[in-house]
Structure 1
Amino acid sequence: MSATELFIALFRAVKIKDLRWWPGFGSFEVVVGAILIQNTAWRNADAALQNLRSKGLLSLESIAGLEEAELAQIIKVSGFYNQKARRLSLLCKAIIADFGDFESFKSGVSREWLLARKGIGAESCDAILCYACERAVMVADSYSARLLGALGYEFESYDELNAWLGELEFERIYEFVNSANSPCDATAKADKLENENGAYALFHGLIVEFCKAHLKGKIFDDFAIEFFDNLK
């Protein structure tokens, strides 16, 4: 099985309403969310984002200007809030110091720069590059590892898993997703998939949504088991 075959099978199995999937795609909000989501459920990270938004603080300059203790209280619902406040504060100040503003960060940041920041590992780095900076970068996560593990694949590192997922045949993906005959949710059909960034973002989204629907604890449900059997 190839990454392209897995993508197509997941696209057939998962109803997805937005081809770009991640909330706030292309905005600074994604950078904040990539930190807040660490070691918590999305609902908790989203609640912390809502707190920042309601106070008019969901911007690079606003977070950089906050005292860490105040920021920690605002994002408390996300868990590990003192640690996350420290990481967010340092990251925002570093972005301003090295790039000046978010748009310059989007166009100029490198993977090496992000990985050198405290608290940003490979997954958070790739999520920022893909969803905030709109780069052609695949995000691998624990859902990806579990799904491919159920299909009999084993990977020794994040980079190895990421490389496997990244081997998409893009023209074949574009043709399939944009086909009038593809089983895509009607809302998603308003957009077309036209670039590698969009393909990677959608692939990650399909994996996450499939696992959220069919992974119960550490066990896949009967639908998923039949899905895997058909792919093997």
Structure 2
Amino acid sequence: MSGYEIFKALIYANIEYKDFDWLEGNNLSEFEILISVVLTQNTNWKNVLKALANLKQANITKIEDLSNLNTQDLVLLIKPSGFYNTKAKYIKNFTQKYFQDFNSFEFFKDEVDREWLLNIKGFGQESVDGILNYICKKEVLVVDAYSAKIANYLGCECQSYDELADFFKKDIAKNQQKLSILLKKECRLYELYQIFHALIVSFCKIHFQGKKLSAEGVAILEPLKF
């Protein structure tokens, strides 16, 4: 079994993924995706969207705006996301490091790497890969708790984040053209990884209730089992 087989099964199942907020052309700017990487920790997405709306209403729409905002004002704006004191510190810390090492957002997108991001307090592997894939357009697949649910159901017991990512990435690059044909559009590899992540999240939100998988979900995943 491979990530390619899972990807293909989710495409054939017509899982609706195109309203996934992080996908290009949807509601969120790159700045909002960057901030949501922190805000989404230990909360639900609706709360993140409320916090992002507060930032937008306060005209905080780029990293430069954050540098002029004191921490307590940031805390009030992101309060809906929970753990707001800690998250505000993480965001301000990131902002400080950003201005130390990068002179523009475009330079950041071109030059930042995984090691630099992982050295920022509050940025875990999933957060870092979200930035690299969705903002920097790197060939990196984001895996998360939803990905782990599918892997566990299929009998794959991954022991680490990297092992889970390798499991889902397997055979995707070499089947890039086939997947593009199935999706009915020419996709670069980083785009395929974005779509795959969006499909996984959408599938789990539709078909998993806790650990229980719906009958329709079983019909999609069961043929893939080891």
Provide TM-score, normalisation by structure 2.
0.91
- What residue number does 2:2 align with? 2
What amino acid maps onto 1:21 in structure 2? L
CA distance in 1: counterparts of 2:172 and 2:135, whole angstroms: 23
- What residue number does 1:146 align with? 149
Pick closer, same or farther for the CA change 1:4–1:111 going to 2, 3 Å.
same
CA distance in 2: counterparts of 1:203 and 1:25, whole angstroms: 19
Matched residue SS, 1:210: helix
2:33/2:135 contact within 8 Å kept: yes
2:176/2:189 contact within 8 Å kept: no
1:143/1:208 contact within 8 Å kept: yes
- What residue number does 1:230 align with? 223
Q: 2:37 aligns with which of 27, 34, 39?
A: 34
The correspondence of residues 1-232 of structure 1 with structure 2, limited to 5 A, is 1-13=1-13, 14-17=15-18, 21=23, 23=26, 27-170=30-173, 172-177=175-180, 179=181, 182=182, 192-232=185-225
Unaligned runs of 5+ in 2: none
* Count of residue correspondences: 222
After TM superposition, give the deviation of residue 113 of structure 1 in Å.
0.2
Question: Residues 13-70 of structure 1: CA distance to partner in whole angstroms, max 9, x if unpaired?
Answer: 2122269736567722211010111111111111111110111102101112211111
CA distance in 2: counterparts of 1:166 and 1:112, whole angstroms: 20
Unaligned runs of 5+ in 1: none
Matched residue SS, 1:213: helix
After TM superposition, give the deviation of residue 224 of structure 1 in Å.
1.2
Matched residue SS, 1:103: helix
Equivalent pairs: percent with the same residue? 38
Deviates more, 1:217-226 or 1:98-107: 217-226
Pick closer, same or farther for the CA change 1:15–1:174 going to 2, 3 Å.
farther
CA distance in 2: counterparts of 1:59 and 1:196, whole angstroms: 28
CA distance in 2: counterparts of 1:135 and 1:26, whole angstroms: 17
What amino acid maps onto 1:47 in structure 2? K
After TM superposition, give the deviation of residue 169 of structure 1 in Å.
3.1
1:25/1:132 contact within 8 Å kept: no
1:134/1:197 contact within 8 Å kept: yes
After TM superposition, give the deviation of residue 171 of structure 1 in Å.
5.3
CA distance in 2: counterparts of 1:146 and 1:171, whole angstroms: 25
Matched residue SS, 2:93: helix
Provide TM-score, normalisation by structure 1.
0.89
Q: Cα RMSD over matched residues?
A: 1.9
